[in-house]
């Protein structure tokens, strides 16, 4: 069987997809009897493409040359961003084509509309490459766990931030040093804000929420914190306490109640997700009846991501579709109603009575302390005090912390990082 | 769409599959518009079934009542073992039915023949449940990695042995104590030999070899060692050296050369697979272009395994088949040509010159030592000496060890455990 595709967007992933399709075409044909033919390449940013020329492939800067081509079965959208990618996908579906995309930002914000259109047109949208690059996570959830209820999701969904946190701990450097090293290595972009502030993780979490629960959260309503306030100090103290700090995407469903959030989190070193190093991604799922599952692999990079793009092209061509979820109604848990344990670090004047003041405030809000460590002793200087609390309500914790930060013996702001028991 | 199935074999997995199908039927219908109807249950070991009666399902002790029933689309074979399971599958395929099975022993030994028959009959054999119970590994490899070349497989494929090794290290108990605890908990069978001696792991590795490389190894030709010779001592020494001992299934392909083996292995604590605790399974793959991937989850148990059985029933019903591999020709590496690093433990008389004797023999075979630790000092008694070698050829290592074990100052047999850099 021959299937014809058009690829829009010749960035990293687009070029790697062309290369992988050429390199592994006989392998794919051998395994599936499918021949994938690239009918054309498009990149709106340029009028000529050396890359297309070297690969002896037709090139256009006008995406509609591909979208309107009746010979093309599947449009591969690798442009990224909302516009014009959204319109490309809409028009491709309307023209009766299947779509493969790696565009998490677009799907997180307009997925409901796009999947509804695909269903109406009886066409498919493959999006394996949009979450955790090379990991076949979308197919695992939608097909492998088709008869399972997912209760909890914990994900390291962004390689850049994981690399930065990992490097800080490993090389004992601060955030800005680790970031600039990541930029030098091409792991972080020149403008890394979407990664650093957790928004990329949030977009992927919205997609996982749809897949696992049939629920599209509104991205702007999900509690989201990035990693720029994590200091080396916190990473080292957490390690002493047998924890690593990871930027986690978290979702928990209990009956009709759903809790979705993104923030730096202390993870016990006993859990394999704490061992996810460098720019790797991982997703841990707690399910019924399949139990706990963990998927681990590269989350980005042209070559790795191209394998997911191609697996979608193949699946869709062979009608081995990812089954889509019907939407479900749930009640979202408000961030201030979260209950977790907390790591808190105060910078406190080293004088008698400070610890008592702090403890009194915590007690007043019903927060009980599991452990306290004072790191050094230096008279008349601010020294770090690290506390691990028992489970408490976020609202109480925030109020207590505001009070504590008002004490003259405390240098605000104090650090607060949530702890999850995976 | 309604699909009708017959389930043969009402053990743990069979009963759990019935239960899960009932419990999650509306979930499955919601997600896939598929209704799975159980047309009948069969268990040859009994003439009546209380379980079938409670579940209001027709029961027979004659499998052919189901295999010959024209209304049944898919036969679910959960009998296990070679006979009569093999004939059930052959006859079901000949009757035009699809088959779903969890039978790794059968597929490892007769998979080539059964898959060829399925292809001839244009029917499918789903076997997601046969490797790593709940982990959607088969679909991930065959569909998700359809355009990838797998270079290396490292797998913890047997929960029983992983539990025993884990318990030995955690509770500082010896093999037989950990085994009997596992038996008390139902994690090990009363006759645990297929698990303990590595044969169950071997069967699953044969299936992974087929999936990843298109190669069926002959199980009897694969170097296979179990865990019964692993002592607590070795586990503790390995830990001091920053390693954990795991029973690994290993396969490596370089060009047309394939290396397949099963044995206890030292794994660096820096690798997530070393963190696989209790009776969990995990598979680590090194691929091109998708990079390194790891899949982790429960490898056994009725409920978890039922999720894979059902995912196969659904996939096959919706024609979302796992693509099957064409067979490939390779050259199998002989066990004596393996090259790895080694952990060796000698019990040596604590007197001058013993270490020199041992070192001389190793040197004569070109084996160089990376580190030596003598654990205690006790005059005129045998004390353990632990060595880590640099990479060496298995043949040389074995010959050197035979010579060393002939020394009067050494209490044979010495311990040899391979080290893998994952």
Q: Which of B135, B136, B296 sits opposite A143 (nearest CB)?
A: B136
Chain B residues in contact with A270 by the CB 8 A cut-off are 275, 277
- Give the pLDDT band of residue A323 (cuts 50, 70, 90): low
Is a pLDDT exceeding 90 seen at residue A155? yes
Same domain for B252 and B347: no
Residue B112 clears pLDDT 70, i.e. is over it: yes
Q: What is the pLDDT of residues A198-215, one digit of tens each?
A: 999 999 999 999 999 999
Q: What percent of chain A has pLDDT over 70?
A: 97
Subunit contact B134:A320, Cβ cutoff 8 A: no
Whether residues B29 and B114 share a domain: the answer is: yes
pLDDT number for residue A377: 65
CA B104 to chain centre: 9
User: How far is the C-alpha of B192 from the C-alpha of B190, rounded, in Å?
Assistant: 6
Residues B174 and B261 in one domain: yes
Q: What are the DSSP E strand ranges found in A197-334?
A: 223-224, 243-254, 257-268, 280-288, 291-298, 331-332
Chain A residues with CB under 8 Å of B298 CB are 290-292
Of B147, B277, B298, the CB nearest to A307: B147
Mean predicted confidence (pLDDT) in A251-260: 90
B328 part of a folded domain: no
Residue A315 lies in a domain: no
ipTM of the complex, rounded to two decimals: 0.89
Query: Is B309 within the bounds of a domain?
Result: no
Asked whether residue A270 is assigned to any structural domain, the reply reads yes
Closest Cα to residue A67, out of A11, A126, A9?
A9
The reported pLDDT for the residue numbered B171 is: 97
Q: Which residues of A are catalytic?
A: 204
| Res. B263 pLDDT band, cuts 50 70 90 | very high
Q: Is residue B311 part of a domain?
A: no
Domain count, chain B: 3
Residue A346: give its domain's CATH number: 3.30.70.260
* Domain limits for position B112: 2-130
Calculate mean pLDDT across residues A262-282: 93
- What is the reported pLDDT for A334? 86
Look at strands A291-298 and A280-288 and give their pairing: antiparallel
Is the pLDDT at A325 greater than 90, yes or no?
Answer: no
> At how many degrees (to 10) do helices A25-32 and A302-317 cross?
30
Same domain, A283 and A364: no
Which domain-ending residue is among A299, A325, A359? A299
Q: Is residue A319 part of a domain?
A: no
Q: Which tens digits make up the pLDDT trace of B7-41?
A: 999 999 999 999 999 999 999 998 888 999 999 99
Residue A188 shares a structural domain with residue A280: yes
- Mean pLDDT over all residues of chain A? 93
Q: In whole angstroms, give the CA distance from residue B128 to residue B125.
A: 9
Using pLDDT thresholds of 50, 70 and 90, give the confidence band for residue A331.
confident
Q: In the prediction, which pLDDT does A326 show?
A: 66
Nearest to A293 among B134, B277, B310 (CB): B134
Residues A134, B293: C-beta atoms closer than 8 Å: yes
Q: Of B194, B223, B218, which Cα lies nearest the Cα of B206?
A: B218
The CA distance from B224 to B197, in Å, is 8
B290, B294, B303: residue with CB nearest A289: B303
* Span A366-393, average pLDDT: 86
Are A275 and A158 found together in one domain? Answer: yes
Are A237 and A106 members of one domain? no
- Residues in a beta bridge with A418: A265, A342
CATH classification of the domain holding B169: 3.30.360.10
Residue A140 and residue B140: Cβ atoms within 8 Å? Answer: yes
Residues near B191 by Cβ (< 8 Å), separated by ≥ 6?
Answer: none
pLDDT score of B335 more than 60: yes
Cβ B142 vs Cβ B323: under 8 Å: yes
Question: B265 is written with which tokens?
Answer: 């292995």
Binned at pLDDT 50, 70 and 90, residue A379 comes out as low
Residue B206 confidence (pLDDT) = 96
Q: Is residue A255 part of a domain?
A: yes
For residue B199, name the pLDDT band (cuts at 50, 70, 90). Answer: very high
Indicate if A159 and A271 belong to the same structural domain. Answer: yes
| Mean pLDDT of all residues in A264-270 | 91
B168 neighbors B234 (Cβ within 8 angstroms) = no
Which chain A residues are Cβ-neighbours of B301 within 8 angstroms? 291
Q: Residue B350: inside a domain, yes or no?
A: yes
Q: Which residues on chain A are in Cβ contact (under 8 Å) with B16?
A: 289
| Domain edge (last residue) among B130, B156, B182 | B130
| Statement to judge: residues B238 and B374 lie in one domain | no
Backbone φ and ψ for B233, nearest 5 degrees, come out as -50, -50
Q: Which residue of B has its CA nearest to A296?
A: B294
Q: Check whether residue A193 and residue A109 sit in a common domain.
A: no
pLDDT tens digit string along A290-310? 999 999 999 999 999 999 999
Give the closest-approach CA distance of B257 to chain A in angstroms: 17
Do residues B43 and B108 both lie within one domain?
yes
* A105, A204 contact by CB (below 8 A): no
Quick one: B295 and B396 in the same domain?
no
Rg (CA), chain B: 24
Q: Note the pLDDT tens digit of each residue in B151-187.
A: 999 999 999 999 999 999 999 999 999 999 999 999 9
pLDDT tens-digit map of B297-317: 999 999 999 999 999 999 999
Which of these three, B75, B104, B130, is where a domain ends? Answer: B130
Per-residue pLDDT tens over the stretch B59-74: 999 999 999 999 999 9
- At residue B380, the pLDDT reads 64
């Amino acid at each position: 069987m021959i299937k014809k595709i058009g690829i829009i967007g010749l960035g990293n992933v687009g070029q790697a997809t062309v290369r992988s399709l050429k390199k592994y075409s006989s392998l794919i044909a051998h395994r599936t009897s499918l021949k994938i033919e690239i009918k054309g390449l498009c990149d709106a940013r340029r009028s000529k493409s050396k890359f297309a020329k070297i690969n002896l492939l037709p090139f256009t800067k006008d995406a509609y040359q591909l979208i309107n081509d009746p010979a093309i079965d599947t449009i591969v959208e690798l442009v990224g961003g909302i516009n014009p990618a959204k319109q490309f996908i809409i028009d491709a579906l309307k023209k009766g084509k299947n779509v493969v995309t790696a565009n998490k930002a677009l799907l997180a914000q307009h997925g409901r509309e796009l999947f509804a259109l695909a269903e109406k047109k009886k066409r498919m949208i493959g999006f394996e490459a949009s979450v955790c690059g090379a990991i076949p996570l979308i197919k695992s959830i939608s097909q492998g766990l088709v008869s399972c209820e997912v209760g909890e999701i914990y994900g390291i969904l962004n390689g850049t931030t994981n690399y930065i946190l990992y490097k800080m701990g490993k090389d004992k450097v601060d955030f800005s040093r680790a970031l600039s090293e990541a930029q030098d290595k091409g792991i972080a972009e020149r403008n890394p804000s979407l990664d650093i502030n957790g928004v990329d993780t949030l977009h992927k979490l919205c997609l996982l929420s749809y897949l696992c629960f049939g629920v599209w959260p509104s991205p702007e309503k999900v509690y989201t914190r990035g990693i720029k306030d994590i200091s080396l100090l916190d990473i080292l103290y957490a390690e002493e306490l047998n924890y690593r700090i990871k930027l986690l995407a978290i979702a928990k469903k209990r009956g009709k109640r759903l809790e979705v959030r993104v923030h730096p989190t202390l993870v016990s070193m006993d859990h394999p997700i704490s061992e996810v190093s460098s720019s790797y991604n991982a997703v841990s799922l707690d399910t019924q009846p399949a139990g706990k599952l963990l998927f681990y692999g590269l989350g980005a990079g042209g070559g790795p991501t191209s394998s997911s793009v191609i697996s979608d092209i193949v699946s869709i061509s062979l009608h081995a579709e990812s089954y889509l979820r019907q939407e479900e109604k749930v009640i979202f848990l408000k961030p201030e109603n979260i209950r977790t344990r907390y790591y808190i670090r105060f910078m406190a004047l080293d004088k008698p009575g400070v610890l008592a003041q702090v403890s009194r405030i915590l007690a007043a809000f019903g927060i009980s302390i599991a452990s306290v460590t004072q790191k050094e002793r230096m008279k008349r200087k601010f020294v770090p005090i690290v506390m691990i609390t028992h489970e408490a309500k976020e609202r109480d914790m925030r109020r207590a912390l505001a009070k504590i930060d008002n004490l003259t013996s405390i240098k605000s702001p104090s650090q607060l990082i949530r702890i999850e028991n995976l």
